Amino acid sequence: MANILHIVVCAGIVPDPLQTLEPITGPSGPGLKNEMVLPAVLDPWAACALYEAANLAAKNPGSKLWLVSLGPKAKLQQVMMTVAQKVPFELVPIDGPIGGFPDAHSTAAVLAESIAALPDLDRAKLLLFGGWESATRGAGVTLQLVGERLGITDHFQGVDEISLREDGSFEVLERVEGGKHQVSVCVGTPAVLGWATGNLAEPRNNPQVGMANMRTIMPALAKAKAAKLDSNSLSYVSVSLPKQQRETHVVKDLTPDQIAAELIEWIGAE
Amino acid sequence: MSSVDQPEVSQIDRPSMEVDIACVGFGPATGGFLTTLTKAWNENSADPAFESRVTPGMPLQVLCYERADDISSGVSGVVTRGQAIRSSFPALNPAEIPMAVPVSSERVMYLLDPIGASRRSALLRLADFFLRLGGKLVGMRDYAFTLPWTPAFLNKHGGLVLGIGQFNQWVGSQLMASGLVQIWPGTPVSAPLISGKKVEGVRLADQGVDKSGAPIDGFMAGMDVRAQLTVVGDGPVGAVGQAIDNKLGLPPGHAHREWALGMKFVIELPEDSPLKPGTVWHSFGFPEPEIFGFLYVHPERLVSVGIFVPSWMHDPSRTAYRYLQHYIQHPALWKHLKDGTLRSWGAKSLEESGKHGEPYLCGDGYARIGEGSGSTNMLTGSGVDEAWATGTQLGVAVIELLRAGKPFTQENLAATYEARRRASWVEHGAKEAENARNGFQNGIVKGMIGMALAGLTHGKLSISAHIPLPHKQLRPFATNSYDALKLKDATKMAIADGRSFHDALLTLRGWPEIPFDGRLLVTQQDALLMGGKVQAVPGFADHVVFRNPQLCIACGEKTCVAMCSGQAITQGEDGVPNFEREKCVYCGACLWNCGQSPDGEHSNIEFRAGSGGLHSAEN
């Protein structure tokens, strides 16, 4: 027997990681150079959560799927023209700022308030989805804070799989050290699931899905609630970049073992 | 009902839907069209003219499909007079558009060759000699002679410097905010739906297919989008425009004969750069006499620097990336650029036939706008504003027809859209430019004289010339000649040390090796990963197809390999080039850089609809 689920996916939008992202320190703190020039995409971790959520909703008829996203309305709209072609969902847009290092507490408060205000949401059936990590410069704790604000006590992080059982309980695979998974069984909803990559490929662009989504997305964007984040709650002690290095050269006629040995030597020298 | 043939999948039940207006390609022309439409709708959304014919009770269903995976992935640094754009946005504030700025100064430079490797005629060498002799007395500096004035026909003063990617993004966000228009990126259109002579919509590309287009796991047949009006704005190498040309023909005597590949870098200037935003330089003479160049300064110390390699550069080793690296190292430019950082690069084909390549502008159920409709003015070197203007002209025409309740027939579109276009400055300019570049078929000097004649006499005088089809413009390597030896040597070099074919060709022709610095001078493969990376969404068929492999095997020039902007086409061991979709920036240069023809009309390379391409916003 299928379970009826109310799945809410929290997904921010982030500067497209395929672009050149150059960190700078501006008047309001650390940020990215020319950030407004860059196109935005749905946070890739949260995008995995969205695809998993859509898959789950499709397997459980009667379920509902909301996508809650905070960002400048114009950027949200642009991102939705791609995301909306992937899977069916109902958008809950929040017109707010992006950029810099947003305060997770402030962001979580806005998201939780919007979720709590969803008129058709049955919190007893709620699965709160999001990304395990974040491609934004957030602290990666926003999802947990949203869950806490909504009073949800069962939290799972680094999730790669969820299997629903007929009695409403579900099994969750969470990533742990050593490339293994921790298996947990939860008695039922509500729960918070921070997704790793999951197991699903990115769905193909489907124009019919896009057209259907847009019937609700455009009116939702037009009515998007404005939100202001507390920008004074954070101070920056230090900001550093991870070291990255590229060395490219063309090799011919090397065996995979030889290439592997060269890579190990290169990594070892670093 | 018949659609343009798709060899990969022909007999499949396809999903379909009906819309009022389907647009193909989102660029300046479609931007102008949709802006005109949405402005009228915003003024009075209750206007019954804007009620959908296919979904009664709803507003017009207007959809636009774009191949690139983001509407900001347009590739072009542009200087434009911007009169049509400003007409659509009377209160335009360039500061609201990233990378946009008013033109502040303009110059034209003739660049001498400080290396001695370029293919200069004796006449040009003589001119260079006298210029060198005159030195600073005649205005020579850094191997460059600046013309004392910018000819009026080239002058863009009062215009705008733009990054097309950013401009498209700015326009697109306003359009989508209107609620009338949906723009779908990442959605290539494979073909028009043609019945008789009527275009009845478009077919989206199949997904879940192998390289040849055969269905594999996850196959999703491309949807048939049936439309009252199909607006074709997919540029010069777009699949829909090409298919309409092939199926319905071109006006007598017209053909797409003249092309150029534009390739450019976006470079961040050093902090102490004296170049002011809005600075515009045009150049000619280097790295080869046939190659024109440009430098446009954007705000935030960004500069677009690029070259145009034309189809009338008959040499089969014509290439772009390596030439562009030599171009930016010319002393007149390098002194400003040498401490800069490469942020992105891009390339696109330009249709330079003008009126000679103009297709039928409209027919039953469709209209052509923008560059693919022959709107680019090759005398003024301007295309964006003209494209925008054609889009607005169609927009006004469509509103008129909607209000009159008239269908989108050839007759009605000709009386409204085509008539407006013919009476406009776009047409007047196109006529002046019609024969301005003919002389280039006979060399750079005759070309420049012809261009000056046409420019100074508003097209009354020009040089006549026969312009062959592109595949016939390539001068083959003579057997056993010096050039043939270079070709063989380059092949050996490319295979021996893994370098690209065009790179090897230029080295063997005496061009110095590029001193890579990892910051501004990087390999072409590294450039593919800078700025925005190249995208190829899995599950689509190859969009570059070699029609007759036997012709490739017999081909001695392999210009498609030398010219490929992304090194996506490489030497194949069996003589048929390899194509890697993952590297293709969708410039379309291969379409007109093939010296073979299976039918005497088309080249041996077919350029179909594909997904992805260059994915860079700083363009």
Nearest to B207 among A81, A204, A222 (CB): A204
Most confident of B64-73, B365-374, B526-535: B365-374
pLDDT reading at B509 higher than 80? yes
B98 vs B77: CA distance, rounded Å: 12
Which among A207, A214, A251 has CB closest to B204? A207
Question: pLDDT grade, residue B262 (50/70/90)?
Answer: very high
Residue of B nearest to A207 (CA): B223
The DSSP call for residue B416 is: I
Helix axes of A142-149 and A104-116: crossing angle, nearest 10 degrees: 40
For residue A247, count other CB atoms closer than 10 A to its CB.
6
- B183 Cβ under 8 Å from any chain A Cβ: yes
Predicted confidence at residue B2, as pLDDT, reads: 39
User: Is there a common fold for B16-78+165-255+356-432 and B101-160+257-353?
Assistant: no
Mean pLDDT confidence for B557-573: 86
Residue % of chain A over a pLDDT of 90: 54
Q: Does residue A236 surpass a pLDDT of 80?
A: no
Q: Cis peptide leading into B94, omega within 30 of 0?
A: no
What are B93-145's pLDDT values in tens digits? 999 998 999 999 999 999 999 999 998 989 999 999 999 999 888 889 999 99
* Neighbour-count burial of B508, counting CB atoms closer than 10 A to its CB (0-12 exposed, 13-18 middle, 19+ buried): middle
CB B229 within 8 A of CB B400: no
Report which DSSP code applies to B51: B
CA distance B416 to B418: 6
Neighbours of B71 (CB within 10 A): 29
**B533 pLDDT tier (thresholds 50, 70, 90):** confident
CB contact under 8 A, A207 and B535: no
Q: Residue B558: pLDDT band by 50, 70, 90 thresholds?
A: confident
- Average confidence score pLDDT of chain B: 90
- The residue-averaged pLDDT of A200-219 equals 90
Residue B32 has pLDDT above 70, yes or no: yes
Residue A39: list chain B partners with CB under 8 A.
70, 72-73, 169, 617
What is the DSSP-derived secondary structure letter of residue B421? H
Residue B400 sits at φ, ψ, to 5 deg, of -60, -45
Q: Give residue B6's pLDDT band: very low, low, confident or very high (50, 70, 90).
A: very low
Three-state DSSP class for A256?
helix
Domain layout of chain B by residue ranges: 16-78+165-255+356-432, 101-160+257-353, 435-467, 473-614
Q: What is the mean pLDDT of residues A162-188?
A: 94
Which residue of chain A has the CA closest to B499?
A250
Hey, are the CB atoms on A39 and B617 less than 8 Å from each other? Answer: yes
For A205, the 3-state DSSP assignment is coil
pLDDT at B1 over 50: no
Of A13-17, A85-89, A254-258, the range with the highest mean pLDDT is A85-89
The answer to whether the Cα torsion of B152, B154, B155, B160 is positive or negative is positive
Residue B458 per-residue DSSP state? T
* A207/B539 touch (CB, cutoff 8 Å), yes or no: no
The topology under which CATH files domain B101-160+257-353 is: D-Amino Acid Oxidase; Chain A, domain 2 (3.30.9)
More confident residue, A98 or A142: A142
- Distance, in Å, from the CA atom of A47 to the CA atom of A40, rounded to the nearest integer, reads 13
Confidence band for B224, pLDDT divided at 50, 70 and 90? very high
Q: Tokens 């069962």, residue?
A: A154
Cα separation, B268 vs B390, whole angstroms: 34
Using CA atoms of A40, A41, A44, A50 in order, give the dihedral in degrees to the nearest 10: 140
CA separation, residue A21 to residues A45, B97, B253, B403, B546 (Å): 18, 19, 50, 48, 38
Of A18, A37, A78, the CB nearest to B98: A37
Q: Which domains does chain A have, with CATH numbers?
A: 6-226 (3.40.50.620)
What is the ipTM metric for this complex? 0.81
Residues of chain B found within 8 Å of residue A204, distances taken between Cβ atoms: 207-208, 218, 220, 539
Q: In DSSP terms, which residues pair with B267 in a beta bridge?
A: B303, B342
Confidence (pLDDT) at A251: 72
**Under CATH, which number does the domain B16-78+165-255+356-432 receive?**
3.50.50.60
Name the residue facing B344 among A20, A85, A207 (closest C-beta): A20
What mean pLDDT, rounded, does chain A reach? 88
pLDDT at B4 over 80: no
Most distant CA pair in chain B, distance: 76
> Could you give the count of Cα atoms lying within 13 Å of B469 in the half-sphere of its Cβ?
15
pLDDT of residue A269: 72
pLDDT (tens digit, 9 = 90+) per residue, B138-189?
Answer: 889 999 999 988 888 888 888 999 999 889 989 998 898 888 899 999 899 9
Output the pLDDT for position B532.
Answer: 67
Chain B residues within an 8 Å CB radius of A36: 98
Largest CA distance in chain A: 64
Q: Residue B28 and residue B166: Cα distance in Å, rounded?
A: 11
Beta strand B341-351 pairing with B279-284: unpaired
Give the mean model confidence (pLDDT) for residues B347-373: 95
- pLDDT for residue A231 is more than 90: no
**Which residue on chain B is closest to A203 by alpha carbon?**
B218
pLDDT digits (tens, 9 = 90+) for A85-133: 999 999 999 998 877 677 889 999 999 999 999 999 999 999 999 998 8
pLDDT band at A238 (very low <50, low <70, confident <90, very high): confident
Contact: B70, A16; criterion CB under 8 Å: yes
Which comes out higher in pLDDT, residue B353 or B537? B353
Q: What is the pLDDT of residue B485?
A: 62
Quote the pLDDT of residue A254: 86
- As a whole number of angstroms, the distance between CA A30 and CA A23 comes to 7
Chain A CB contacts of B72 under 8 Å are 39
Among B548, B463, B265, B53, which Cα is nearest to A20's? Answer: B265
pLDDT-wise least confident of A49-58, A253-262, B464-473: B464-473
Q: Would the CB atoms of A39 and B535 count as touching at under 8 Å?
A: no
Contact criterion met (CB < 8 Å) for B525 and A248: yes
Which two structure tokens, joined as six digits, stand for B315? 């040499």
Q: What is the pLDDT of residue A138?
A: 65
Structure tokens that stand for B360 in this block: 């039928």
pTM: 0.90
CA proximity to B503, closest of B523, B474, B517:
B523
Q: How much of chain B exceeds pLDDT 70, in percent?
A: 95
- What residue in A sits closest to B301 (Cα-Cα)? A34
Q: Is the pLDDT of residue B36 over 80?
A: yes
Q: Among B18-22, B159-163, B493-497, where is mean pLDDT lowest?
A: B493-497
